């Protein structure tokens, strides 16, 4: 059974944190069915959205469900391998298949070889020894465009007589059509059989009616009488039912005739005789046991239909009538009851629209298209051989690459060429992202994709020149995320070299690197300070404006009243004292902090590192944990893949998928910027700060143990040097001294 443990010893390589198979020769590839399914990287993939030959994927997809599964890939390898002399040709992936590589010992191989020679002769390459994918594709198209191409479909253009052409058109008009491989519409054997079965049924049913006088009580006018009655039947039944209700209880007459407000609603609109509102009213005024007037005083929306009914139905059955009673209406229905029952038993109605005369003429023409289907049948073997030539050429060229993006992710991890799920390169924010995957529904994809633990940017891409559109998701695995935001524009270069305008529509935020995580706390604090400063400045500006406006108003009023503006109250001494205490406390705290820091002596650098670790450590730890979990599986699974392994994107490999801007080797750089802001002497500031720190440490005596006696602070400063803390005196008492005296 599929998926059992391998009977063959394969070679493996480790990449992405898991073991992947390596096909070292063609025989390894031919034994793909012996590789345990648990060792496959993927077990299924979609046929759409991949940077791979679409026709090859279509051929491998045997059940045409839009997905390629492990069984289908194995079947394709087995079929193509049996037609090659050496399976090593898979690893060579030749652009042109040598005819000498075809296995002539297999019966199918012989037929395929002859078909390939026929194809080349048809292309004017009789002496060619190789056949390429374009050659085989051109041959397939040319054969499909032939009148008889072996697909079992006869288009109208392939017929040989006017009668055959008209028959094909009749079948398509009644039963339906099928697409020919040429792209034209035609009919197949089953559709022709269904057509003539319907013709036979209809003609037989029609003959039964024509041979039974009871079914045609009015002769040739029966059909017209019945059709006219069908139009007004429901309204006639409704009218006589309403009259019966009015006869039962006269109080119901007003309601049965509709209320006045309903007429007012209709009258408020632009009226037409055929309007639906008018047609909904009764045929005539409702009264108990009333006969229906057929010509006068009837609902104008039904006047024409009633006139036709009177002429085609009432007159042939009852003679000249101006009214119709309920009993006469029952008589008319009884007269046509047998015809109605016969109509209900109609069969073959699908072909009825062709007309009785045409159907009778076709009754004996069932074999008219048989010669054409025989010609089509004779080409089936040739069609199959030509299709097999194309399939073998494509499989030999493409299957090995497909396996290296399905059974293993060798192409993705070796980085020699992009994987088939990488649709291009995104250039945005001075970065080049190579892990770009096409998505059909970004909203649905984004539900599962965050499990990849990567920083993702969903983009809508468009080519204005051709109005083409697509959506992508790109993984940013290097650089910073500060300038990545919804609405930013970039450029996508697809695998064919086409340029697309890309706009970010959604971001999935995850750590990009340890370096970004290190600086993240400081950036957050800086942003917080900037926001608070901006907020405080805005508040102060608002208060200042209000105070200024209030002051101007006060001065104006005082001037008008002749009053002297009082001077503002002087600052309270207590407030000044409180501020002094606060500043002193802060200064003392800063001094204690500096004293503790300088007290480390030579260990001060480690203190700096410890402080940085205390601040940035948690952020870096979280980033490291997430980066260790980063993998490509959820990105592909959300796109319809069945990824069977935890395909990791570790930090070194992930960084290689996104390139940041860097000057080329050998470039020169002129650092003079005429518009640069004036530089500050930071080096001087840092030097002075270091000297100040050393001076404070020397003053506090923290460096005395490193200096000779003459240079120590206690020697230089004498009594002015800070006094050393007195060592505690330890007093030891004897047991006798410690015991208290006893009182007499």
Last residue of a domain, one of 319, 335, 351: 335
222 pLDDT more than 80 = yes
Q: CA 352 to CA 202: how far, in whole Å?
A: 7
Last residue of a domain, one of 297, 312, 335: 335
Which pLDDT score, from 0 to 100, does residue 178 have?
Answer: 93
Look at residue 159 and tell me if it is in a domain.
Answer: no
Token pair of 282 as six digits: 């009764």
Other Cβ atoms less than 10 A from the Cβ of 572: the count is 9
- pTM for the full predicted model: 0.66
| Least confident piece of the model among 187-191, 212-216, 357-361, 411-415 | 212-216
Extended beta strands in 42-105, E state:
44-46, 67-69, 96-98
Per residue in 439-479, pLDDT (tens digit) is: 988 888 988 988 988 899 999 999 988 889 999 999 998 88
Look at residue 588 and tell me if it is in a domain.
Answer: no
Is residue 237 domain-shared with residue 114, that is, in the same domain?
no
Per residue in 15-24, pLDDT (tens digit) is: 988 999 999 9
Is residue 142 domain-shared with residue 15, that is, in the same domain?
yes
5 pLDDT more than 70 = no
pLDDT interval class at 596 (50, 70, 90):
low
| Least confident piece of the model among 2-6, 253-257, 387-391, 591-595 | 2-6
Look at residue 58 and tell me if it is in a domain.
Answer: yes
CB 650 within 8 A of CB 629: no
Bridge partners of residue 132, in order along the sequence: 96
End-to-end CA distance of the chain: 108
CB 332 within 8 A of CB 318: yes
Last residue of a domain, one of 413, 428, 463: 413
Is residue 38 domain-shared with residue 110, that is, in the same domain?
yes
pLDDT interval class at 123 (50, 70, 90):
confident
Look at residue 471 and tell me if it is in a domain.
Answer: no
Which pLDDT score, from 0 to 100, does residue 282 have?
Answer: 84
193 pLDDT more than 70 = yes
Is residue 22 domain-shared with residue 130, that is, in the same domain?
yes
Which pLDDT score, from 0 to 100, does residue 506 have?
Answer: 93
Look at residue 544 and tell me if it is in a domain.
Answer: no
Is residue 253 domain-shared with residue 319, that is, in the same domain?
yes
Which pLDDT score, from 0 to 100, does residue 330 have?
Answer: 92
Between CA 282 and CA 291, with CA 285 as vertex, the angle to 5 degrees is: 100
pLDDT interval class at 571 (50, 70, 90):
very low
Which pLDDT score, from 0 to 100, does residue 710 have?
Answer: 67
Which pLDDT score, from 0 to 100, does residue 744 have?
Answer: 37
732 pLDDT more than 90 = no
Residue range of the domain that includes 268: 218-335
Kindly report the backbone phi and psi dihedral angles of residue 49, in degrees, each rounded to the nearest multiple of 5, phi listed first: 80, 15
642: which DSSP letter?
A: -
Look at residue 163 and tell me if it is in a domain.
Answer: no
Which pLDDT score, from 0 to 100, does residue 566 have?
Answer: 54
Which pLDDT score, from 0 to 100, does residue 7 have?
Answer: 60
Is residue 117 domain-shared with residue 231, that is, in the same domain?
no
What value does the mean pLDDT of the chain take?
82
Extended beta strands in 669-734, E state:
none
Is residue 100 domain-shared with residue 17, that is, in the same domain?
yes
CB 623 within 8 A of CB 514: yes
Is residue 119 domain-shared with residue 15, that is, in the same domain?
yes
Look at residue 619 and tell me if it is in a domain.
Answer: no
Is residue 396 domain-shared with residue 305, that is, in the same domain?
no
Is residue 15 domain-shared with residue 122, that is, in the same domain?
yes
Is residue 311 domain-shared with residue 408, that is, in the same domain?
no
Which pLDDT score, from 0 to 100, does residue 736 have?
Answer: 44
Look at residue 19 and tell me if it is in a domain.
Answer: yes
Per residue in 424-444, pLDDT (tens digit) is: 999 999 999 999 999 988 888
| Least confident piece of the model among 4-8, 50-54, 583-587, 739-743 | 739-743
Instruction: Look at residues 362, 507, 363 and name the one whose alpha carbon lies nearest to residue 429.
Output: 507
Is residue 24 domain-shared with residue 96, that is, in the same domain?
yes
409 pLDDT more than 80 = yes
| Least confident piece of the model among 335-344, 653-662, 716-725 | 716-725
Between CA 124 and CA 131, with CA 127 as vertex, the angle to 5 degrees is: 75
Bridge partners of residue 428, in order along the sequence: 431
Number of domains in the chain: 2
């Amino acid at each position: 059974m599929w998926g059992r443990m391998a009977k063959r010893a394969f070679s493996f390589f480790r990449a992405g944190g898991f073991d992947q198979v390596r096909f070292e020769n063609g025989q390894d590839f031919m034994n793909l069915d012996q590789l345990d399914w648990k060792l496959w990287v993927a077990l299924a993939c979609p046929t759409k959205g991949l940077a791979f030959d679409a026709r090859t994927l279509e051929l491998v997809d045997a059940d045409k469900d839009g997905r390629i599964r492990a069984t289908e890939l194995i079947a394709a390898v087995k079929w193509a391998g049996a037609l090659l002399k050496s399976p090593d040709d898979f690893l060579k992936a030749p652009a042109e298949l040598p005819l000498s590589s075809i296995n002539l010992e297999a019966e199918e191989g012989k037929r395929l070889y002859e078909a390939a020679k026929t194809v080349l002769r048809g292309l004017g390459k009789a002496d060619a020894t190789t056949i390429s994918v374009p050659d085989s594709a051109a041959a397939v198209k040319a054969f499909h465009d032939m009148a008889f191409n072996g697909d079992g479909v006869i288009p109208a253009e392939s017929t040989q007589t006017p009668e055959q052409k008209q028959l094909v058109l009749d079948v398509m008009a009644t039963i339906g059509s099928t697409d020919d491989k040429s792209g034209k519409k035609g009919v197949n054997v089953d559709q022709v059989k269904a057509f003539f079965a319907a013709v036979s049924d209809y003609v037989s049913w029609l003959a039964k009616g024509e041979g039974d006088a009871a079914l045609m009580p009015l002769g040739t006018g029966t059909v017209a009488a019945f059709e006219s009655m069908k139009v007004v039947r429901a309204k006639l039944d409704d009218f006589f039912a309403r009259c019966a209700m009015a006869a039962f209880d006269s109080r119901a007459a007003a309601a049965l005739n509709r209320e006045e407000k309903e007429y007012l609603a209709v009258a408020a609109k632009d009226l037409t005789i055929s309007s639906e509102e008018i047609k909904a009213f009764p045929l005539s005024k409702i009264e108990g046991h009333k006969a229906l007037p057929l010509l006068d005083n009837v609902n104008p929306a039904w006047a024409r239909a009633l006139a036709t009914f009177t002429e085609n139905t009432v007159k042939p059955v009852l003679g000249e009538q101006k009214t119709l009673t309920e009993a006469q209406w029952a008589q008319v229905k009884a007269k046509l009851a047998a015809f109605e029952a016969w109509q209900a038993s109609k069969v073959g109605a699908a072909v009825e629209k062709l007309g009785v005369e045409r159907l009778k003429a076709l009754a004996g023409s069932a074999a008219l298209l048989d010669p054409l289907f025989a010609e089509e049948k004779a080409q089936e073997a040739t069609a199959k051989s030509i299709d097999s030539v194309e399939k073998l050429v494509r499989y030999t060229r493409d299957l090995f690459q497909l396996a290296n993006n399905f059974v293993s992710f060798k192409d993705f991890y070796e980085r020699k060429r992009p994987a088939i799920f990488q649709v291009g390169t995104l250039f945005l924010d001075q970065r080049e992202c190579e892990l770009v995957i096409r998505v059909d529904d970004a909203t649905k994809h984004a539900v599962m994709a965050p499990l990849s633990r990567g920083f993702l940017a969903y983009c809508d891409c468009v080519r204005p020149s051709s109005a083409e559109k697509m959506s992508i998701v790109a993984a940013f695995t290097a650089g910073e995320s500060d300038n990545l935001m919804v609405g930013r524009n970039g450029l996508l270069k697809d695998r064919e070299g086409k340029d697309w305008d890309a706009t970010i529509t959604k971001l999935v935020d995850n750590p990009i690197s340890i370096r970004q995580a290190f600086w993240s706390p400081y950036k957050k604090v800086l942003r917080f300070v900037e926001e608070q400063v901006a907020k405080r400045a805005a508040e102060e500006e608002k208060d200042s404006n209000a105070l200024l406006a209030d002051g101007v108003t006060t001065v104006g009023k005082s001037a008008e009243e002749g009053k002297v503006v009082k001077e503002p109250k002087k600052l309270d001494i207590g407030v000044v004292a409180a501020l002094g205490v606060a500043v002193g406390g802060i200064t003392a705290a800063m001094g204690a902090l500096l004293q503790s820091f300088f007290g480390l002596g030579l260990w001060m650098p480690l203190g700096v590192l410890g402080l940085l670790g205390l601040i940035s450590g948690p952020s870096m730890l979280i980033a490291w944990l997430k980066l260790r979990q980063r993998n490509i599986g959820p990105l592909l699974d959300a796109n319809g893949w069945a990824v069977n392994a935890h395909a990791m994107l570790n930090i070194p490999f992930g960084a290689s998928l996104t390139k940041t801007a860097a000057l080329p080797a050998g470039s020169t750089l002129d650092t003079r910027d005429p518009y640069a802001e004036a530089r500050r002497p930071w080096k001087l500031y840092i030097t002075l700060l270091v000297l100040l720190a050393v001076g404070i440490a020397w003053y506090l005596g923290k460096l005395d143990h490193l200096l000779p006696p003459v240079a120590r602070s206690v020697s230089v400063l004498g009594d002015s040097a800070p006094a050393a803390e007195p060592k505690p005196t330890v007093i030891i008492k004897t047991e006798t001294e410690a015991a208290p005296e006893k009182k007499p």
